[in-house]
Structure 1
Amino acid sequence: MSDLAAPNTPLPPVPADENVPDNADAEAWRAKIFAYYKTNVPTKIKMVNSKMMEKWAGKYDVLYQNLIKKYGPLGHPLPVSTLAPGAGGKKSMGDFKDSFINLVAKAAPQQLPERNVDVVKSKAGVQVNGLETSTFTVCSRVRPILPHELEKEGGENFAVIVPGQSFEFDYAFGPDSNNSEIYKLTTEPLVERCLNGQCGVIFAYGQTGSGKTHTMNGIMDELCESDIFKEGSEVEFTYLEMLGANIKDCLNTDPQPKPVAIGEALDGRILTRNVSIHPCADSSALKALVSKAKSLRSVAATEKNAASSRAHGIGIISCTDVETGVTGKLYVIDLAGSESAKDSKKHDSKRMAETKQINLSLSNLKECIRARTMASEPGMGGIHVPYRRNKLTLLIKDVFEIGCPRICSTVVMTNVSPLASDVSHSSNTLKYSGPLRVAVGKGKGNLQKDEDDPANWTNEEAEARIREAHGGEIGDVKAFVRGLTGVQLCGLPEKEYLVRGGKEAGKKVYLWMWALITDAKTRKRRDDGTIVTKEDEENERQELVRQKEEKARIWAEREKHLRKEF
């Protein structure tokens, strides 16, 4: 007997009077119960399987009577409206399909805002008494319902998650959006970062089967046709796959490749060992490498996805300016899908271990983003960002390090399924990622102006400060500054400093500026927004010492009196 009775399965005939004796064999009862489900509740016919028959062995007559109470006499099923707790049964989400669809239509906006604003670039110009050097643009993408999902029984495969509903994002993309549109708004600005010697990161986060790999593969395809092959720039490509501490170079052709290692040098630089780096002379060379990397991704069937990515896929594009030698980075990261207990209930021990590693690294990534956005507020630079806990966050350290000497822009692409059956997981995904965007640049009110923060300098102040610190090296400071204010100078890429001031002097001024930017970000402030100077800190330290000495003196006096009394 097969485990699942399909409609085409031959079954013993049901007695004409439908009165099956209590001592009849299980196959006869199975035939009768199958016929009942097929007539009264065909959407649940899959329940007639060996597990059900074993559970009700010896009590098939009781089972049949329960079915009649729940779904009505054979051939006369009870109306859906009567199938509620206390009225013979429990409703499923599919029973409320029409009601849900109407509610979603009422809650969804009739028209989404225009998406032609360059949010990624505008966020990098945010200034709250200090330039925000690492920004996070948070987007959502709701995938379309797939044809095979519409055919699934149960009635639960209808859309309840739509763009612009209840959650706020910088960009919201729906089922009609394509990868070209998403690339233009989210990734094209990151290519500019990379070409300028800065850092850009885009990663897709969400439930397995929510469209992350489709989105990231589309972005990689668009990158191959982009302006990244700019004259005077050398392009290199690397593709890694990461699960916990296990890292694989997908493009390494060695028969026995050495293990990939990622670590941190004493000077703070991130070092990679045994990683193959592939020069790309043109678009076709990058296409070939991207195609090979896609084909070598580790996938496995899960409850939600027949080809689920079982590790994080990390594409790294490096662009080096030939004239100055400055290198920018662009990371395109296809995160492995998060899974709920329902998604992983049929996993074996190996799959469960994978799921644990995936969910742990995703949790750490979210914690790092939250901590970094909190640290962006003036006076909050002392917040710890735990990027060293995980190899993925260590690899993109620049995004999280307060003292990173270049501007970084990160795009979080939150992918969700529209299906009612996935609504719990989708809702959790949106709740986790949505608030990440509002933390950036909130700041405190009535902040005392930090005179040593370059972002607060006027053009005249910038000229005076640079002349005082590096006038002898730069020469014509006015020509170097070129009418820019402090905040505009802070936003200039490193290679521009080297072009304006020469490689050696320009580098010195650049590093000096970024040391001042970092100092300003980590400067302590009181709750009222005033700055705690070094003199203030020393005075406070001395006051604590004085209070401690006074407390010790008082206790010594008390002990004298106690000894006299006893």
Structure 2
Amino acid sequence: MECSVSVSIRINRLEQKDTNKTSTLRFDAVAGTVAQLSLKKSPSRYSQVGSPNYSFPKTPFDGVFKPGVGNEDLYHLATQAIVLGSLQGTHGAIICYGQTRSGKTHTMGGIVTMAIHDIFSHIKAHGNRQWEVKVCIIEVYDEHIRDLQHRNGFGGDIQIIEDEKEGIVMQGANDVIVRSEIEALEVFRMGNSNRTRAVSTNVEHHPRSTIIHKVHIQSQPKSPNGKECIAQLANLYLVDLAGSEAALKCSPEDRSQNVSRDGESHKAMQSLNGVVTALSSDELRGMVRYEDSVLTRILAPAFGGNCKCAAICHILEDDESHRETWNTLQFASRVRKVVNTPTINQLHSEPSGGVDLTSSSKADFISSNHLDNASPTASKHKHGTRQQ
């Protein structure tokens, strides 16, 4: 069954030095809209963008979260269904978009923590199945993929391949089998501490790369040997995108050091915008260029593919960020038009091959009763999907 990408807007505010400043943004959480009062400042200040009036999109979004709404409410209302779907064999993606310092990383930190908690709570509650959970954390920066489990990015080249069974696979990334919530979160914590950051005189240390937390989930019913077993598998992508702004807010000295690499970062974001623009247009839908960047190749299932996808687009309430707010809402309105076709991904083991659950294979699968491990090894598998 086809479904649109779910799009929510999260509004944050920076600490204002001038406490008398008021925002011209107006938002309606019930209607899912964001609007703006007339600007009292000179229109020429914004004329270089080519749209002096900054007419905001009229698209109603799936959710609008005003300042003060916590991560827990946002997670349950906007993203939890994606996580729960991955436990039923449907690929999922949750993507945080917005300018630097708009709150993307804070949001994603909360989503990752609560998603991992839900996954292992579900495993404990479903003792009639065996589970395998693997996690990895990668950075997409300068058109390269870096495994963040290695502090200096060592560990070999990571290649993107398409696998009939698992979809997009980052071959060479270190997929770690985790047996508990604590183990999974520790992998992600260590990875995020190794993220590449820019140094700017105006904007402290800030991320200039995209971070992808990948959770691979596979489960199967507990079944006697020799009987056919149908397993379900899914990838869950939790994505903290690089800043969406057109240029870093840094001094000329900083820019001279960072421009070549930042140009690649912006190339990735521009490619993502190009993919979304094509998918949202009837005229351009046949000209989607996923191959233009590493990022769009990885995220192809999330935009126009077989994922359930939720995008959380972040904007700042202050008028100084008006240009980026306008750009973000334009992106959000286009993403809202992107249609995906989620499927339930299944593995069928041949009856003749059976499912080996002997002690020699108990390193991969989690038994929800005892959190023991066992991995099925079938002599032959075939891949199947069905519409959801």
Same fold per superposition (TM over 0.5): yes
Q: Return the match for 1:396 from 299, 320, 329.
A: 299
Aligned equivalents of 1:326 and 1:267: distance in 2?
10
- Give the structure 1 partner of residue 316 of structure 2: 417
Q: Return the match for 1:159 from 16, 23, 28.
A: 23
Maintained 8 Å contact 1:135/1:408: no
1:58-109 deviation per Cα after TM superposition (whole angstroms, max 9, x unaligned)? xxxxxxxxxxxxxxxxxxxxxxxxxxxxxxxxxxxxxxxxxxxxxxxxxxxx
**Structure 1 residue identity aligned to 2:265:** I
- Give the structure 1 partner of residue 259 of structure 2: 352
Q: Does 1:233 align with 2:233?
A: no
Q: CA deviation at 1:291?
A: 1.7
Q: CA deviation at 1:319?
A: 0.4
Structure-2 change in CA distance of 1:364 and 1:187 (3 Å): same
Q: More relative contact order in 1 or in 2 (CA 8 Å, sep 6+)?
A: 2
**Structure 1 residue identity aligned to 2:291:** R
Q: CA deviation at 1:498?
A: 5.6
Structure-2 change in CA distance of 1:308 and 1:381 (3 Å): closer
Q: Return the match for 1:207 from 95, 99, 121.
A: 99
Q: Return the match for 1:493 from 326, 338, 344.
A: 344
Aligned equivalents of 1:279 and 1:184: distance in 2?
26
Aligned equivalents of 1:255 and 1:384: distance in 2?
34
- Give the structure 1 partner of residue 77 of structure 2: 185
Q: CA deviation at 1:278?
A: 0.9
Maintained 8 Å contact 1:161/1:417: no
Maintained 8 Å contact 1:239/1:316: yes
Aligned residues: 318
Aligned equivalents of 1:253 and 1:158: distance in 2?
43
**Structure 2 residue identity aligned to 1:328:** A
Aligned equivalents of 2:330 and 2:352: distance in 1?
48
Maintained 8 Å contact 1:203/1:332: yes
Richer in strand (by share): 2
Q: Return the match for 1:367 from 274, 284, 299.
A: 274
Aligned equivalents of 1:301 and 1:423: distance in 2?
24
- Give the structure 2 partner of residue 312 of structure 1: 210
Aligned equivalents of 1:494 and 1:264: distance in 2?
15
**Structure 1 residue identity aligned to 2:344:** P
SS of aligned partner of 1:145: coil
Q: CA deviation at 1:332?
A: 0.7
Rg larger for: 1
Aligned equivalents of 2:352 and 2:293: distance in 1?
38
Aligned equivalents of 1:356 and 1:331: distance in 2?
25
**Structure 2 residue identity aligned to 1:159:** S
Maintained 8 Å contact 2:142/2:262: no
1:335-359 deviation per Cα after TM superposition (whole angstroms, max 9, x unaligned)? 1112344724533323222332222
The 5 Å alignment of 1:144-543 reads 144-146=13-15, 150-151=16-17, 158-164=22-28, 165-166=34-35, 167=57, 168-228=60-120, 229-230=122-123, 231=126, 232-252=130-150, 256-264=154-162, 270-302=168-200, 305-323=203-221, 324-341=230-247, 343-346=249-252, 347-374=254-281, 383-400=286-303, 407-438=306-337, 440=339, 493-495=344-346, 510=384
Maintained 8 Å contact 1:315/1:333: yes
**Structure 2 residue identity aligned to 1:359:** H
Aligned equivalents of 1:352 and 1:509: distance in 2?
45
TM-score (ref. length: structure 1) = 0.50
Aligned equivalents of 1:266 and 1:440: distance in 2?
21
SS of aligned partner of 1:291: helix
Richer in helix (by share): 1
Q: Does 1:140 align with 2:140?
A: no
Structure-2 change in CA distance of 1:348 and 1:156 (3 Å): farther
**Structure 1 residue identity aligned to 2:311:** V
Maintained 8 Å contact 2:233/2:345: no
SS of aligned partner of 2:170: strand
Structure-2 change in CA distance of 1:424 and 1:369 (3 Å): closer
SS of aligned partner of 2:118: coil
1:194-232 deviation per Cα after TM superposition (whole angstroms, max 9, x unaligned)? 112221111111111111111111111212321345143
Structure-2 change in CA distance of 1:303 and 1:213 (3 Å): farther
SS of aligned partner of 1:339: coil
Maintained 8 Å contact 1:240/1:249: yes
Q: CA deviation at 1:254?
A: 9.0
Aligned equivalents of 1:491 and 1:202: distance in 2?
14
Q: CA deviation at 1:239?
A: 0.2
Aligned equivalents of 1:400 and 1:340: distance in 2?
22
Q: CA deviation at 1:262?
A: 2.2
1:434-480 deviation per Cα after TM superposition (whole angstroms, max 9, x unaligned)? 23314659xxxxxxxxxxxxxxxxxxxxxxxxxxxxxxxxxxxxxxx
Maintained 8 Å contact 1:156/1:420: no
Structure-2 change in CA distance of 1:283 and 1:393 (3 Å): same
Deviates more, 1:391-400 or 1:338-347: 338-347
Gap runs ≥5 in structure 1: 1-130, 442-489, 518-566
Aligned equivalents of 1:141 and 1:240: distance in 2?
25
Maintained 8 Å contact 1:318/1:330: yes
1:490-515 deviation per Cα after TM superposition (whole angstroms, max 9, x unaligned)? 977244x969x9999xx98955x67x
Q: CA deviation at 1:266?
A: 9.8
Aligned equivalents of 2:337 and 2:153: distance in 1?
48
Identity %: 21
Gap runs ≥5 in structure 2: 29-33, 36-56, 222-229, 355-380
Structure-2 change in CA distance of 1:304 and 1:221 (3 Å): farther
Aligned equivalents of 1:292 and 1:334: distance in 2?
16
Structure-2 change in CA distance of 1:256 and 1:431 (3 Å): closer
Q: CA deviation at 1:321?
A: 1.1
SS of aligned partner of 1:338: coil
